[in-house]
């Protein structure tokens, strides 16, 4: 399974694991992959600082990365514009009425009412600044190329930059901006994703960008799929959803409803929608997503307004523990996530099945 990326990053396997949990990210790095910590949940700079210090101390000296959410074009936030005032009353009313109809209880007074500020450009920049004071080897951006000055700053610190792409033309733009690694994010993926399936997208991007390394992404949760990505020309894989079903993730999100929601789901139980952030993202299909698809529901707002609109609603939904309502970004690989397992076991299975797959193909070749 070794590719040039293994040598470049000092890892045993070219398995990159995006996760909002530092416990998962550290465990992946310790197991020979590259854990990539999602920073969007950190509203408090001090909390991110403490978490990255914990990563420095709990990865056994192994490398890790961070992931931010930063649009290349700087939006109006950070100026005198009041983003909250830009959210229509119709949308606020719809959210309140939907939560009432679904029986979602309110949060205790004062808890969880703040939006996730990491979706804001200015906050994402602060995440980069804090990360560069630690020892990540990679900064990934979920929204494509970060601004060129951010890429240059990362390079000055010896840190590579990765960017997600849903089409070959986007990948070419990333390369022109100085991005080092392209994540070919297929339609099957959880969270932000484009419209082209990984089987088509990965070779399209590999052919377009030439020598620039590409990671296959979208619905990858088995060694067979890792082998398929490498066969398509990728130098590794970018994984995400599969780590939501690990024991270590329970440190971040632990309730019976959450576990029941993904373990009972099939690969058909997801939906690609703008209701989570304002940009197309794949979520678990629940009564919450279905309410937004009903006739008369308002159209989702652009980023970051949609996130600000639904942030408290998501906190309430997730706190309720109701598996029929819970809001969860997750890919079509959810149909294979039938039990909660340790990260090390998931990694070992990925590697073992990859080796079995390659051996089987060699037999077929004769």
327 band by pLDDT with thresholds 50, 70 and 90 = confident
Report the pLDDT value the prediction gives residue 83, as an integer from 0 to 100.
74
74 band by pLDDT with thresholds 50, 70 and 90 = low
81 band by pLDDT with thresholds 50, 70 and 90 = low
What gap in Å lies between CA 184 and CA 306, rounded to an integer? Answer: 25
Residue 242 counted as domain residue: yes
- Ranking 240-244, 258-262, 348-352 by mean pLDDT, the lowest is 258-262
- The share of the chain scoring above pLDDT 90, in percent, equals 78
72 band by pLDDT with thresholds 50, 70 and 90 = low
Burial track 134-170 (b if 16+ CB lie within 10 A, e otherwise):
ebbbbbbbbbbbbbeebbebbeeeebbbbbbbbbbeb
Report the pLDDT value the prediction gives residue 315, as an integer from 0 to 100.
87
Is pLDDT of 338 > 50? yes
> CATH number of the domain that 337 lies in?
3.20.20.70
* Cβ 150 vs Cβ 70: under 8 Å: yes
Residues across the chain: 366
Report the pLDDT value the prediction gives residue 258, as an integer from 0 to 100.
85
Q: What is the mean pLDDT of residues 12-25?
A: 97
What gap in Å lies between CA 297 and CA 128, rounded to an integer? Answer: 37
Average pLDDT of the chain is 92
Q: What is the mean pLDDT of residues 316-326?
A: 91
Q: What is the pTM of this model?
A: 0.93
Is pLDDT of 19 > 70? yes
Is pLDDT of 42 > 80? yes
Residue 110 counted as domain residue: no
25 band by pLDDT with thresholds 50, 70 and 90 = very high
Residue 29 counted as domain residue: yes
- If one compares 313 and 80, the residue with the highest pLDDT of the two is 313
Is pLDDT of 109 > 80? no
Q: Which of 192, 190, 137 is nearest to 165 (CA)?
A: 192
119 band by pLDDT with thresholds 50, 70 and 90 = low
End-to-end, the C-alpha distance of the chain in Å comes to 20
Residue 277 counted as domain residue: yes
Residue 334 is encoded by which pair of tokens?
């959810």
Residue 113 counted as domain residue: no
- Pairing type for strands 270-273 and 281-284 reads antiparallel
Residue 141 counted as domain residue: yes
Range of the domain at 299: 4-104+118-365
What gap in Å lies between CA 23 and CA 321, rounded to an integer? Answer: 22
Give the pLDDT confidence of 266-283 residue by residue, as tens digits.
Answer: 999 999 999 998 999 999
Q: What is the DSSP letter of 246?
A: B
Report the pLDDT value the prediction gives residue 115, as an integer from 0 to 100.
52
Residue 109 counted as domain residue: no
Residue 271 counted as domain residue: yes
What gap in Å lies between CA 341 and CA 337, rounded to an integer? Answer: 10
Is pLDDT of 73 > 70? no
Give the pLDDT confidence of 125-135 residue by residue, as tens digits.
Answer: 999 999 999 99
Report the pLDDT value the prediction gives residue 79, as an integer from 0 to 100.
46
Domain count, the chain: 1
Give the pLDDT confidence of 138-185 residue by residue, as tens digits.
Answer: 999 988 899 999 999 999 999 999 999 999 999 999 999 999 999 999
């Amino acid at each position: 399974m070794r590719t040039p990326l293994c040598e470049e990053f000092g890892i045993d396997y070219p398995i990159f694991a995006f996760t909002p949990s530092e416990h998962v990210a550290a465990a992946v790095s310790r197991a020979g992959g590259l854990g990539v910590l999602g920073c969007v949940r950190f509203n408090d700079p001090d909390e991110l600082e403490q978490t990255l210090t914990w990563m420095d101390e709990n990865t056994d000296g192994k490398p890790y990365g961070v992931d931010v959410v930063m649009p290349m074009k700087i939006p109006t936030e950070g100026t005198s514009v009041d983003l909250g005032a830009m959210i229509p009353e119709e949308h606020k009313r719809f959210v309140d009425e939907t939560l009432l109809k679904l029986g979602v209880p309110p949060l205790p007074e004062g808890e969880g009412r703040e939006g996730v500020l990491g979706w804001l450009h200015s906050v994402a920049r602060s995440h980069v600044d804090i990360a560069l004071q630690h020892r990540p080897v990679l900064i990934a951006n979920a929204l494509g190329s970060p601004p060129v000055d951010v890429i240059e700053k990362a390079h000055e610190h010896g840190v590579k930059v990765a960017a997600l792409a849903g089409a070959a033309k986007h990948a070419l733009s990333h390369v022109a901006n100085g991005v080092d690694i392209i994540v070919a994010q297929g339609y099957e993926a959880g969270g932000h994703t484009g419209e082209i399936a990984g089987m088509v997208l990965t070779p399209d991007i590999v052919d377009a960008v030439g020598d620039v390394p590409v990671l296959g992404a979208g619905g990858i949760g088995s060694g067979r799929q890792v082998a398929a990505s490498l066969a398509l020309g990728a130098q590794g894989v970018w994984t995400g959803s599969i780590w939501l079903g690990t024991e270590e993730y329970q440190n971040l999100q632990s309730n019976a409803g959450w576990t029941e929601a993904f373990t009972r789901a099939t690969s058909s139980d997801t939906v690609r929608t703008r209701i989570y952030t304002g940009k197309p993202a794949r979520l678990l299909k629940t009564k919450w997503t279905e309410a937004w698809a009903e006739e008369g529901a308002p159209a989702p707002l652009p980023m970051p307004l949609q996130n600000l609109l639904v942030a408290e609603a998501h906190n309430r939904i997730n706190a309720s523990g109701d598996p029929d309502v819970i809001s969860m970004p997750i890919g079509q690989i959810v149909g294979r996530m039938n039990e909660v397992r340790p990260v090390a076991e998931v990694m070992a299975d990925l590697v073992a099945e990859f080796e079995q797959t390659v051996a089987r193909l060699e037999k077929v070749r004769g």
